[in-house]
């Protein structure tokens, strides 16, 4: 099969770039590993940041983004993003997205790290509303082909006469047919999301493991700042719903964090209290839990008007009610959980990578926007802004002619075994659990030199076992995910071990202070000499 553009992933970044390209006349194939309504974008609750209020401005939004990023934000990327935010919101509205309104204006909420009310939202289910509108347009657009239950297994790269590596497609596992197919394309866009699922507890129910990061790494791309994994401060801690995301907007609307005895504790950690940036709040909760030997703390909004709660947070209200918690009367048990990957595939301002024809947009990419800690509600915004930039860059080159046949296969039988043997499935499950256990214990919210050294060694051993297992069996969804998990977990641990300081989402007890220089950790791909260096990315 051939397309002008192959988009790997269908969250907000992938959907927006695909739709923009299709509307401009390009033939687009979109790989959907999971249903569109289960992506991380669809699960986003809070909203999209944009300076729209009379007392706000892109300059203030930029200042808040820089402040949250702890000195590692690439200012050009942040400026580009905040200045494009109002037009990104307008584009969504023009594509059928309905946001909450207050009289004749969009209703704007406030969240941690923001000094103004600038969060455009649809109740407390913004991602679901946005993705429903975009998914409908994708599904009905004549130039878009949605390939459901298709998982990218490998990027196809070649070296040009000039010596530059070029990407011209991907080998893809078709889960329904049980075969590997080759999809050729003039441009490939990675929009696979982050790697929060590499940890034991994640806010994302689909447990993403950084598929696109692993694909790009193996193809030859640089990866930056993978140690900067943001832990959302308030994930529900409940036996029937561990890790379910409790929106940041609840604290923005006056939600209070308390110990079981009723004591508020955030102002002991930061003068901004519950409105401090996520890394600060997550470490404060972690510290209180350790100090008092707790599994969770309380997030309380029962002091707020019940009608306001029902109107503003219907999704959270209904979810907690199903668990027997009435949030208008009682607090919610919450604890930090892995949430967002601030590092990723190194890209330029148009989502372009080290490989010609290959782009990365959204959480899979390192643009420099988030620095060492993402500002709340800048994630959906990043996908929209850099999705638009990537689409514009692709459209600046001619569309391609027809390419390869539907099943141009290399070294892989067209039909694979119906199921991986039971023993191999059990071994894959054990290996995945072991990887997540090591990463969570040694590269979680609080780290140390000894723990990280042990993690690098332990994960290296497990990765060897994973590669051996995958070499023995034909690929399937489980084994492809396991291989990517092992790769990305190793990148996180290696990057964390190289950063000898504490900054943003990375806190090392052996180096509790910031280094005087704000430098990035860049890992070079296995196609070159593997190298980790602390330097600014050019």
Residues 6+ away with beta carbon under 8 Å from 71: 371, 372, 503, 504, 514, 518
Can you give the pTM of this predicted structure?
0.92
Q: Could you tell me what percent of the chain has a pLDDT over 90?
A: 82
Q: How far is CA 268 from the centre of its chain?
A: 30
Contact 48, 377 (CB under 8 A): yes
Q: Residue 492 has what pLDDT?
A: 98
Tens-digit pLDDT profile for residues 168-181: 999 999 999 999 99
With bands split at pLDDT 50, 70 and 90, how would you rate the model's confidence at 418? low
Domains of the chain: 2-228+342-396 (3.50.50.60), 233-338 (3.90.700.10), 422-521 (1.20.58.100)
| Whether the predicted pLDDT of 419 surpasses 90 | no
Could you list the active site residues? Answer: 278
Contact status, residue 39 vs residue 131, Cβ threshold 8 Å: yes
435, HSE (Cβ side, Cα atoms, 13 Å):
32
Question: Tens digit of pLDDT for each residue in 297-346?
Answer: 999 999 999 999 999 899 999 999 999 999 999 999 999 999 999 999 99
**Helices 211-219 and 477-498: crossing angle, nearest 10°?**
80
pLDDT tens digit sequence for 197-239: 999 999 988 889 999 999 999 999 999 999 999 999 999 999 9
């Amino acid at each position: 099969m051939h397309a002008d553009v192959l988009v790997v992933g269908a969250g907000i970044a992938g959907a927006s770039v695909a739709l923009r390209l299709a509307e401009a006349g390009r033939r687009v194939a979109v790989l959907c590993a999971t249903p569109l309504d289960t992506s991380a974008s669809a699960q986003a609750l809070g909203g999209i940041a944009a300076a729209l209020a009379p007392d706000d401005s892109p300059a203030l939004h930029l200042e808040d983004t820089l402040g949250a990023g702890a000195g590692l934000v690439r200012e050009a990327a942040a400026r580009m993003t905040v200045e494009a935010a109002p037009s990104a919101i307008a584009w969504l509205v023009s594509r059928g997205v309905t946001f909450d309104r207050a009289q004749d204006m969009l209703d704007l909420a406030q969240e941690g790290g923001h000094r103004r009310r600038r969060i455009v939202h649809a109740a407390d289910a913004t991602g679901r509303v946005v993705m429903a509108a975009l998914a409908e347009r994708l599904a009905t657009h004549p130039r878009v082909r949605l390939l459901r239950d298709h998982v990218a297994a490998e990027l196809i790269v070649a070296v040009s006469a000039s010596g530059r590596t070029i990407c011209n497609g991907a080998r893809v596992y078709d889960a329904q047919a049980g075969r590997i197919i080759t999809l050729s394309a003039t441009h490939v866009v990675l929009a696979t999301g982050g790697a929060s699922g590499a940890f034991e507890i994640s806010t994302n129910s689909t447990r993403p493991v950084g598929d696109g990061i692993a694909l790009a790494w193996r193809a030859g791309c640089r990866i930056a700042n993978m140690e900067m994994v943001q832990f959302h401060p308030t994930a529900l801690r409940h036996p029937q719903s561990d890790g379910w995301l409790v929106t940041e907007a609840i604290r923005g609307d006056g939600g209070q964090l308390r110990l079981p005895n009723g004591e508020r504790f955030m102002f002991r950690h930061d003068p901004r209290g519950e409105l401090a940036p996520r890394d600060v709040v997550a470490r404060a909760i972690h510290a209180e839990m350790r100090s008092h030997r707790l599994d969770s703390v309380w997030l309380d909004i029962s002091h707020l008007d019940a009608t306001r709660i029902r109107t503003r947070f219907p999704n959270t209200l209904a979810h907690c009610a199903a668990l027997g918690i009435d949030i208008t009367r009682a607090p919610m048990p919450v604890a930090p959980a892995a949430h967002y990957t601030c590092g990723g595939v190194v890209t330029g301002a148009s989502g372009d990578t080290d490989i010609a024809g290959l782009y990365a947009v959204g959480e899979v990419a390192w643009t420099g926007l988030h620095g060492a800690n993402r500002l709340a509600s800048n994630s959906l915004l990043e996908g929209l802004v850099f999705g638009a930039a990537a689409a514009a860059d692709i459209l600046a080159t001619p569309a391609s002619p027809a390419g390869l046949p539907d099943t141009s296969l290399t070294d892989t039988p067209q039909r694979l075994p119906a199921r991986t043997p039971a023993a191999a499935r059990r071994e894959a499950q054990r290996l995945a659990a072991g990887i997540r256990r090591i990463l969570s214990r040694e590269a979680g919210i609080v780290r140390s030199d000894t723990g990280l050294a042990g993690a690098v060694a332990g994960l290296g051993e497990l990765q060897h076992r994973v590669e051996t297992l995958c070499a023995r069996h034909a690929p399937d969804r489980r084994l492809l995910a396991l291989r990517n998990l092992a790769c990305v977990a190793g990148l996180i641990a290696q990057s964390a071990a190289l950063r000898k300081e504490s900054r943003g989402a990375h806190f090392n007890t052996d180096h509790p202070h910031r280094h005087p220089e704000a430098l990035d950790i860049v890992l070079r791909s296995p196609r070159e000499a593997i190298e980790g260096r602390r330097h600014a990315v050019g």
